[in-house]
Amino acid sequence: MQYPAPIAKLIESYMKLPGIGAKTAARLAFYTIEMNEDDVTTFAKSLISVKRDLHYCSICGNITEEDPCEICADNTRDKSVILVVEETKDVMALEKMREYQGLYHVLHGVLSPMDGTGPDDINIASLINRLHDAKVKEVIIATNATTEGEATAMYLSRLIKPAGIKVTRLAHGLSVGSDIEYADEVTLLKAVEGRREL
């Protein structure tokens, strides 16, 4: 038996979300049917709002309602440091710790020749333009510890260092509370390389 067209379309829509397979999409679709109509309307308006009301900051590439974003517009932030991340969600994660007071730059991806993603496909050109500001003294590269993230970090480092700007990389290695015996070789190597004096 086939689903009625409205349910089938809703299931297809849910399946477009990452990590949502056919069973989960069907469960979500039937849950949506059981929802109060006002809640469904609010949910639909929220989806439309994120597409219509949000855009990328013209300076850092972070997602925002206002341009420039709240962080770039904040005069109390340290304008001498720019922390480079892969995605907007990385900015949100770093802001939760409430310790970093510099600026950000969102790449919206990483270099991945296998996927056909080159330097022109991510937000590198605007980062290089930002470095013409004499206030910038350090760029912290905070791409993920994946092959693509490491390749992107090395590429950015080679681009930035000739300008005389300090380039640093977030430390990688063992997470707090983890056991050495369960760590993979790459994690252990990064932990040894990133060791510090006590």
Average pLDDT over residues 188-198: 74
User: Per-domain residue ranges for the chain?
Assistant: 5-52, 75-169
Report CA-CA distances (Å) from 39 to 36, 45, 182: 5, 10, 45
pLDDT in tens, 126-158: 999 999 988 999 999 999 888 899 999 999 999
Global confidence as pTM: 0.82
- Number of other residues whose CB lies within 10 A of the CB of residue 123: 16
- Number of other residues whose CB lies within 10 A of the CB of residue 150: 19
Q: What is the pLDDT of residue 191?
A: 77
pLDDT in tens, 97-125: 889 999 999 999 999 989 999 999 999 99
Residue 48 has pLDDT above 70, yes or no: yes
CATH level 2 (architecture), domain 75-169: 3-Layer(aba) Sandwich (3.40)
DSSP bridge partners of 105:
84
Gap between the Cα atoms of 37 and 39, Å rounded: 5
The CATH number given to 5-52 is 1.10.8.420
